[in-house]
Amino acid sequence: MMEEGGADNPVEETLSPETMELMQSIVVRHRPRNPHHMRTLMTNAGLQSGAYAMAVGLMWWITVAKGGAQLGDSDIPSSLIGMQFHSISIMVPALVLISAFVFALGSYRGNPALLLTGGATALLVAYLVIEPLGMFLIGSIDEAGVALSATGRLAVLSALTYASTMSGISAILLSWVLGQHHYLPFDVFEMVDDSDEGDDDVSPPFP
C-alpha cells in the first residue's frame, strides 16, 4: 500500500537527476522569489527577445538591404571565406544565434564540449566582425569610413542577436520551470535563498 503514495506523483518518478539539476540551475541564475515573480521574469524576457529580434531585422533591412550602396558595401572585397558583405551580414547573426544557444545550453548543463563549441563559433563571429578593419589596414579597402561602417553594423547586429537569443532562451526555460514546479518534490524558490547564503557563483551571463 505504501507504493501507491509514490504513484500519486508521476512527475517525481520521471524526473531524472539531470533534469532536476537543470531546473535548479535555471532558478538559481534567474532568482525568482515566487511563481508570480517568475511569470513576470518570463514575460519580460519574452518581450525583450521579440523587441531585440525586430531591431535586428529593421537594422539589417535599413543599413544593408536598402542603405548598403550608400555606405559603400560595393567597395568591400570578398571575405577570406569567399562571401560578399551582404551574405556576411546574414551569416554573422545566424552564427551568433547558434553560438549563444549552444553556449547557454552548455552553461546550464555544465557541458564543456558545448561550451567549447559555442566559444569557437563566437571566435569566428569576432573575426568576421573585425575583418573589414583588417582589410583597410592591408589596403584592400581604401576608405576608413567604409571599413568602420561595415564593422560597426556587424557588431551591432551581433549584439542585438545575442540579446534576443539569450532573452528568448530565458523565457522558454522559465516557462518550462513554471509549468513543472508544482509537481516537484521540493520548493524551487527555497534554492534561491540557499544560494544567497554562500553565493560565490559567477554572475549569470544572460539577461
**26-40, 59-73, 81-95 — which is least confidently predicted?**
26-40
The residue ranking higher by pLDDT, 81 or 164, is: 164
Name the percent of the chain lying above pLDDT 70.
78
Query: Quick check: 10 pLDDT over 60?
Result: no
The residue ranking higher by pLDDT, 189 or 39, is: 39
Domain spans of the chain, in order of start: 35-190
8 A C-beta contact, residue 126 and residue 43? no
- pTM > 0.85: no
Query: Quick check: 205 pLDDT over 50?
Result: no
pLDDT of residue 201: 45
Average pLDDT, the chain: 81
pLDDT of residue 191: 59
pLDDT of residue 11: 47
Q: How confident is the model at residue 151 (pLDDT cuts 50, 70, 90)?
A: very high
**6-15, 136-145, 157-166, 198-207 — which is least confidently predicted?**
198-207
Report the pLDDT averaged over residues 28-53: 86
Query: Quick check: 87 pLDDT over 60?
Result: yes
